[in-house]
Amino acid sequence: MATTLQKALQGLLLVLLVGCSTTYEPHLVLPPAEFNRSIDAAVEVHPFVAADDLLYGRSNYGVVADDYANKPPSKLTQSITQQVTAELAAHRVFRRVSTYDPAPDLILTGRIERFFEHDRRKLWTFIPYYSNKLASLFRVNSFKTNGEIHLTLTLLKPTGEVVGSYVGHASFDEDYTPNGEVRPGDRLNRALGQALAQIRDEMFADSTLTKSRTPHPLALQ
């Protein structure tokens, strides 16, 4: 009886903890390009994949912070795919971008190698009573955060031939004091925008993408 009651209480506590936490949601804002350009190609985006270390919990995937939770790895990967697709389309990086195209010139795939933000209190903040006084007296930051994004996007012809692979990488390592303006996950989202901007610029610099290409047979109908 006691064991059953104990399990029930543990389950209730877990539900309450999850209910009080904030779930991280990727929000991508692609910084504007230096020059207004667009690659003349219709692109179909296929679902991205995450590295095994992220899928199986051997590396952090998402935001690690007090009162924050993450989607299951497959759902988080899906959200990142959707965000990248939407921003590439909104900024007209290609003539057309969607998750389905009846006559695509190119197929876009993605692989996520690193994607995390870790926010935590500094050790001295756990000193009872004195921590607030120390922070006020010396005006020091009470939290530390670091994170990294490593993303590879690959363009292929519909036949499967690889046109090019493009890598975006961004990281951060900062001290801060929570002020409500910058929340856990905000720095990770900013880094995602920086990584995608690197990839976009690499694509714009790739002469093979600016050459004229044979239209897909369906596009001629």
pLDDT at 158: 96
Q: What does 119-167 look like in DSSP terms, one character per residue?
A: EEE-GGGGSTTHHHHHHHHHT---EEEEEEEEEEEEEE-TTS-EEEEEE
- Whether residue 88 contacts residue 97, with contact meaning beta carbons closer than 8 Å, is answered with yes
Residue 8, pLDDT above cutoff 80:
no
pLDDT band with cut points at 50, 70 and 90 for residue 11: very low
Distances (CA, A) of 147 to 39, 152, 166, 189, 215: 31, 17, 21, 10, 42
For residue 215, give both structure tokens.
């239209």
pLDDT at 160: 95
- Whether residue 213 contacts residue 159, with contact meaning beta carbons closer than 8 Å, is answered with no
Q: What is the reported pTM?
A: 0.81
CA atoms of 64 and 115, how far apart (whole Å) = 11
pLDDT tens per residue, range 74-129: 999 999 999 999 999 999 999 999 999 999 999 999 999 999 999 998 766 666 65
3 state DSSP class of 11? helix
CA atoms of 14 and 7, how far apart (whole Å) = 11
The mean pLDDT value for 53-70 works out to 95
pLDDT tens per residue, range 161-218: 999 999 999 999 998 877 767 899 999 999 999 999 999 999 999 998 975 344 444 4
Give Cα 18 distance to the centre of its chain.
22
Distances (CA, A) of 41 to 93, 110, 160, 208, 215: 9, 18, 16, 12, 9
pLDDT at 121: 82
Which residue type occupies 35?
F
The mean pLDDT value for 17-36 works out to 83
Count of CB atoms situated within 10 Å of the CB of 155: 22
Residue 63, pLDDT above cutoff 60:
yes
3 state DSSP class of 115? strand
pLDDT at 132: 60
Q: Shortest CA distance to 46 belongs to which of 103, 100, 115? A: 100
Residue 15, pLDDT above cutoff 50:
no
CATH code of the domain made up of 38-208: 3.40.50
pLDDT at 179: 74
pLDDT at 20: 60
